[in-house]
Amino acid sequence: MKKNTFLIVLLITVIQFGFSQEKYSRVKIINPSEQTIKKIASEGIDLKCGSKHDHDDLIIEVSETEINKLDNNGISYRIEIDDLEKFYSERAIKDLRKAKAELQAEKARSLLANSSQNRSISSVVHDNIIQYAECDEVDWATPQNYNLGSMSGCLTFNEMKAELDDMYTYSQNNGLDIVSQKANASSTGQKTWGNPTNNFVNQQNNGPATYSGVGSTRWNPETIWYIRITGNQSISPEGSKPQMLFTSMIHSREVSALMNNMFFMWYIIENYNTDDAIKELVDNNELYFVPVVNPDGLRWNETLSPSGGGMQRKNLRPNTGGTGTNRGVDLNRNFDYFWGYNNIGSSGNASSGTYRGPFPESEPETQIMVDFITSRNFKSAVWNHSYANSVPHPYGGVPTASSGREDEYYKWHEEMTRYNRYLYGATIFYESNGLPDDWMMGGSPDNNGSTGSEQAIIATTPEHGGQGFWPTTTTITPIAKQSMRISMATAYYGGKYAKLHDLTQSNITSTTANLDFGIERIGQTASDFTITVTPISSNILSVSSPVTETGMPVLSQKTVTFNLDLDPSITANEVIAYNVALSNDDGIIYSANYEKYYQPNLLFDHNPDSNGLTGWTQAGGWINTTSDAYSASNSISTGTYSNNATKTLTTTNSYDFSSSQEVIIQFYSKWDIERNYDFVEILASPNGGSSWVPLCGNYTKPNASNATTSHDNKSSTYANFQNNSSGQIYDGDRMDNWVMEEIVIDGAYPSLLSSNDVKIRFNFRTDGLNVNENYSTTNDGFFIDDFKIISVNVPCQTTTPTGITVSNITPVTAQVTWNQVPSATYDLRYREVGAPSWTEITDIATNNYLISGLETSTNYEVQIATRCTSATSPYSTSENFTTTDPVPCTGTAVISYPYSENWNTDIGDWTQGTGDNGEWTLNTGTTASTGTGPNNDYSGSGNYFYTEASTNGLGFNATVYLISPCFDFTNHINPEFTFYYHMFGADMGSLSVDITLDDGNNWSTLTTISGQQQGSNGAAWLQEIVDLSDYEGLVVKLRFTGITGSDFTSDIAIDQINLTADEAGSAPPTAICQNISIQLDQTGNASILASDIDNGSNDDIAITNYSIDIDTFDCSNVGTPVDVTLTVTDGDGQTDSCIATVTVNRQDEPTAVNCWDNFVYNDTTCMWENQGSQDPEPATECWETATFNDTTCSWDVTGTQPAEPATECWETATFNDTTCSWDVTGTQPAEPTTECWETATFNDTTCSWDVTGTQPAEPATECWETATFNDTTCSWD
């Protein structure tokens, strides 16, 4: 019997796991050629979902069958991850607990305030997501009901269905009526193939008569579920509003596709009642969600890999693709447009991952979605996928084909990707045919004669995330946040929406002025658009009636103008305030209050028509052009758009911002710049051009990086090109629509606002290649017109404040807030109701104040006045409030001080908290984990409490409380709490001290220490001092709140508790410090007195002593402000301290006397040293003179060599450097001896003697005569 049982179990196991389950691997193909890419695609390997580039290499996730195809084609590769399913599953198991803990922490955070940086907008009245213009994306609040699933964070199919039910229940329970009950997407009740029992009768319109599922886990055909979210859902007929479609999980292994959709759904449901933008969007549109298009594929992954990591992507068409993770048809290749266009974009081989099916729309899932879509009138749709951090759009089947709607796709996708910077386009991936978004758009007859849906719906297929099909569970929620704008844009760009552009610069120069606005239609659904301007400030006498634009084509932008009449008595710099509302046929879609200024000071006012390029210094080719302009005929542009260009445009002059409350930079602009690669940035220099900081405007966006610029038709050489920017850039195409850019220099730019040497620069950079898709982009570059730098100095207004509220009331404190008044400070006074005198606080810088030191259970009144230096407004009417009653404190009472606790015996009078995640651990020596915690307690040998962050302790992201006894401060003053802490660990959490006045019902945080504070286990403990003087006379409890980090290296330790309080007597002194700057003297030293930093310290009797802890300084203090503690002591020996910051400056650099002087500061001697010297005198010839030229700071050499003298031919002239003259040597050759008849003559040509003459002829003689020549007579004898 036992043997039989074993065999049955074994048989079940074989049935369950014996079918062929292919292994999937992640491989890298090194620098594949175009031919190789096409070969890979022709083998049916998907190059869209999950393929990405690493520089010039291609990374894909492939099955064993597909690896064999690579081998058979001689395609070399390197295996990056051998077993993806195992990798994904093990990673998820390890990470899921941490991810869920982080998700809970995320849910505790509130949405950050989305205040606009646009100085023209003082406040938003009715918000609109597409008007958001901050430097960084909205930090989308994590919905409270959004949950990670049990399968590596992914919802199972049943979990997804339960979530849809929960959404409906939430809507009903909260009286929203915005969510429908989940329903079958098929109008005929059609279902999927399922994975049924053997010989199941086929219910589809194709395939075998009967079929059988695989494995031991079987299920009948599934329903594809959808819900609709819209205002008044139960009574709004389908089709009564614009319709948008959001789908996911057409590929059943793509986790982020599903989870992003769920995040978005919960977000709009939970924020419907609190966010007017969400409410308007939901009320006036029908949003349809199909979270799982491929339920069988998802369930098959649940069966094969219940912990996550399953690689099934296709549906479960019977008898197709084997019995493992390659079953079925790729639904994303089964739609009837470009179906089977070629074997590159899909495969006809059933074993391929991109098998397109036996014929178009062969699959029930495809048929259900076609039925669902064609029976409605969708305006836009998104088919969510993962993973590639990209957004491909039609046509994927033939990427070079044109739908004629490319510009609409462009603007829509530019909105989607403004902050996540995903690359978008039709050619960014290799072709894929039979896609649903291609089918929804449709067009001319394709290779099969199909024209698609014939509804021309704009649809797209974003590939979310970059980690894999099963991302690390802790990244699922961040990826979902990155997708939010994609979902939001899909709704807005399908509906009746337009963007409002403020086209009025802030300097109003006349009492009769124009207000200009741009209306840019973005939505697919036609509507009229109306702008209404309503005066706010009393200096506006009248403004034009509302203006309505009708019949606007999609993407068109119309300028509308309002006439503004101002009070003739208006003065310079006055604020001109008005409300602007943009409405469509359904009502207001955006409303904001705007502020302009009457005749403010213009620091720079540039008009290209009259100024040309004057005022600017350009490099690289910026030009003054007449090709286009916002006003008149001229603008400045980047000129010829060429590859590998760097062009800068810099203000020639510097400007002084330091005397302005704010500075507004405004200019009109349009641009056409290759998206994600080329860019323009605007920079500012606080020091005349030595360094630059990036500026953020209404139209800038974060730069793209190689994480989001993988492009199959552009070399990865350029993927990181925008990292050459400073972070905020312009790119994309404004499509010839001008906008007014606005950049506010305020407290967010302290180095600029305090500078008198500010320059502005535009920097234009292009890479080596433009890929423009089929968009109408012409790469015109960047245009600038009417550039202004406006100094804002609003006159202080002594207007009585309004909107006074009192909140956060405790027994001893109350928070007061009121509406801001321009340029004013404030006075506040309060008193017990009926008391004869007020307590007054003057010159408060902000429009809020925390009143402390109140009496419990007491009625107070508070009033606010505006202050402009010495002038003040009347006080406001009183706002009354009552401090709360203290609640009796239970537990041990401490009534005498000082009190101390080191826990060396036990926990003492302290108690472990409740309602947290565990307990603090009492310990001695080291903690249980390496790399975190102290080596011992503060004293070196006793106990301390700590948070054990390992999984066998509290674990990660855990909260734990330790609560004090009752501290009774009755008849005590100056209570002060101190403790020592040790927070060493790479992933350290936080430690807070909280206080309660009502025995733990409500806690307020006094101080928080976050992150790693020590550098090693053995580093010294640090002390924290907490002032409790606001709680004099009360009974309180304190609480330590420890929150561990996201891994085990976050052990937080506390020790050596001390609490002191003085018995009530004379009031202690109050030390008041002022920050000062000092300069070193000529010896390199400086000193100060206590009086130098005292700023009016006081005491109720008298201060008897002033002392400071540091009074001398040298150059080692230059560059790092020094905190100097001033201690004041009164006659009772009571003290108080304050800290002043002393800024030490070097001695002034000496004035150069000589041109070669070069003073360098010596940080050792604290002195300026002249390291310059005169250049050495150059060597000269005897006839030259060297003279130093102070103008050129160099030696000038003058003088010429004496001319060489004339000589006879026998003479030689040689220059004598000693005498600095010419020496002439040589003698004439001696005259030769001659016969008497000869004559010697010197020949200057040959420099020799010429001898001439001949002997007289011998005379004729007789025979008896003899002729003898007589040398004496020179004749013949």
Summarize pLDDT for 554-607 with one digit per residue, the tens.
Answer: 999 999 999 999 999 999 999 999 999 999 999 999 999 999 999 999 999 999
Q: Do 1066-1170 and 609-792 have the same topology in CATH?
A: no
Q: Is the pTM of this model over 0.75?
A: no
Helix, strand or coil, per DSSP, at residue 772: coil
**Is residue 16 over pLDDT 70?**
no
Pairing of the two strands 623-625 and 635-637: antiparallel
Residue 502 is predicted with a pLDDT of: 98
Asked if 514 contacts 502 with a C-beta cutoff of 8 angstroms, the reply is no
**How much is the average pLDDT of 249-267?**
97
Please state the rounded mean pLDDT for residues 188-198. Answer: 97
- Give the other-Cβ count within 10 Å of 626's Cβ: 12
Res 773 pLDDT > 70: yes
**Strands 286-290, 243-247: parallel, antiparallel or unpaired by DSSP?**
parallel
Mean pLDDT of 670-691: 97
Q: Report the C-alpha gap between 243 and 495 in whole angstroms.
A: 8
CA–CA separation, 462 and 659 (whole Å): 49
Are 507 and 602 spatial neighbours (Cβ–Cβ below 8 Å)? Answer: yes
Q: Return the half-sphere exposure (C-beta side, CA atoms, 13 A cut-off) of residue 565.
A: 5
- pLDDT average, residue stretch 152-176: 97
Lowest mean pLDDT among 446-460, 693-707, 1013-1027, 1121-1135: 1121-1135
Mapped onto helix, strand or coil, the DSSP state of residue 108 is: coil
Q: Give the pLDDT band (50/70/90) at residue 916.
A: confident
Share the mean pLDDT of the chain: 91
Domain-by-domain residue ranges, the chain?
A: 88-113+144-492, 498-598, 609-792, 805-882, 893-1063, 1066-1170, 1239-1276
Is the CATH number 3.30.750 carried by domain 1066-1170?
A: no
Quick one: how far is CA 150 from the chain centroid? 32
Here the tokens at position 750 are 């302290």
Identify whether the C-beta of residue 21 lies closer than 8 Å to the C-beta of residue 86. no
DSSP state of 282: H
Task: Tell me what the mean pLDDT of segment 1107-1115 comes to.
Answer: 93
Q: Is the pLDDT of residue 108 over 70?
A: no
pLDDT reported for residue 8: 34
* Pairwise pLDDT comparison (820 vs 992), residue with the higher score: 992
**What is the per-residue pLDDT across 682-729, written as a single tens digit (0 to 9) for each?**
999 999 999 999 999 999 999 999 888 877 678 888 989 999 999 999
Element (H, E) at 257: helix 255-270
Instruction: Kindly indicate the confidence band of residue 49, based on its pLDDT and cuts at 50, 70 and 90.
Output: low
Q: What is the mean pLDDT of residues 970-977?
A: 92
Phi/psi for 358 (5° steps) reads -70, -25
Pair type for strands 458-460 and 529-535 = unpaired
Q: Is the pLDDT of residue 874 over 80?
A: yes
pLDDT of residue 286: 98
Strand runs (DSSP E) across 509-626, as ranges? 512-521, 529-535, 540-543, 547-549, 557-566, 575-584, 587-598, 601-606, 616-619, 623-625
Residue 114 banded pLDDT, cuts 50, 70, 90: very low
Cα–Cα dist 156/170, whole Å: 21
Look up the CATH number of domain 893-1063: 2.60.120.200
Give pLDDT, residue 106: 64
Rg (CA), the chain: 44
Taking only the tens place, the pLDDT of each residue in 492-507 is 999 999 999 999 999 9
Amino acid 353: pLDDT: 92
pLDDT above 60 for 200: yes
Predicted pLDDT at 130: 94
In this prediction, residues 78-97 reach a mean pLDDT of 75
The Cα diameter of the chain in Å comes to: 184
Superfamily of domain 609-792 in the CATH hierarchy: Galactose-binding domain-like (2.60.120.260)
Task: Give, in degrees to the nearest 5, the angle at Cα 528 between 525 and 531.
Answer: 125
Query: Out of 118-127, 809-818, 1047-1056, 1243-1252, which region has the weakest mean confidence (pLDDT)?
Result: 118-127
User: In one letter, which amino acid is 550?
Assistant: T
Q: What is the mean pLDDT of residues 1185-1203?
A: 87
pLDDT given for residue 1072 in this prediction: 95
1052-1063 pLDDT per residue, tens: 999 999 999 998
**Would you state the pLDDT for residue 110?**
38
**599 CB burial (10 A radius; 0-12, 13-18, 19+):** middle
Q: Which CATH superfamily is domain 88-113+144-492 in?
A: Zn peptidases (3.40.630.10)
Rounded mean pLDDT of 1-10?
Answer: 36
Q: How confident is the model at residue 1132 (pLDDT cuts 50, 70, 90)?
A: confident
**CATH of region 498-598, choose from 2.60.40.10, 3.10.450.50, 3.90.1010.10, 3.30.540.10:** 2.60.40.10
C-beta separation of 290 from 224 below 8 A: yes
**CATH architecture label of 805-882:** Sandwich (2.60)
The answer to whether residue 409 scores a pLDDT higher than 90 is yes
| Phi, psi (deg, nearest 5) at residue 1148 | -60, 140
List the structure tokens of 1189.
């030229």
pLDDT tens digit sequence for 287-337: 999 999 999 999 999 999 999 999 999 999 999 999 999 999 999 999 999
Report whether 791 contacts 806 (CB < 8 A): no
Predicted pLDDT at 822 = 80
Q: Are 823 and 796 in contact (CB under 8 A)?
A: yes
Rounded CA-CA distance 686/665 in Å is 15
Among residues 692, 500, 543, the alpha carbon closest in space to that of 116 is found at 500
pLDDT of residue 17: 39
107 confidence band (pLDDT: 50, 70, 90):
low
Work out the number of other CB atoms within 10 angstroms of the CB of residue 30: 12
State percent of the chain over pLDDT 90: 67
Residues belonging to the chain: 1277
* Residue 480 confidence class, pLDDT cut points 50, 70, 90: very high
| Contact assessment for residue 1190 and residue 1155, using Cβ atoms and an 8 Å cutoff | yes
- Which strands sit side by side in the sheet containing 557-566, from one edge to the other? 498-502, 512-521, 557-566, 540-543
| Per-residue pLDDT at 5 exceeds 70 | no
CB neighbours of residue 831 within 10 Å: 16
Q: Is the per-residue pLDDT at 1164 higher than 90? A: no
**What's the pLDDT tens digit per position in 411-449?**
999 999 999 999 999 888 888 999 999 999 999 999 999
Which pLDDT score is estimated for 112?
33
* pLDDT > 70? residue 1253: yes
Between strands 646-651 and 732-733, the pairing is unpaired
Please say if the pLDDT value at position 1080 is more than 60.
yes
pLDDT at position 9 is: 34
Query: Please, how many CA atoms are within 13 Å of residue 1224, restricted to the half-sphere of its CB?
Result: 11
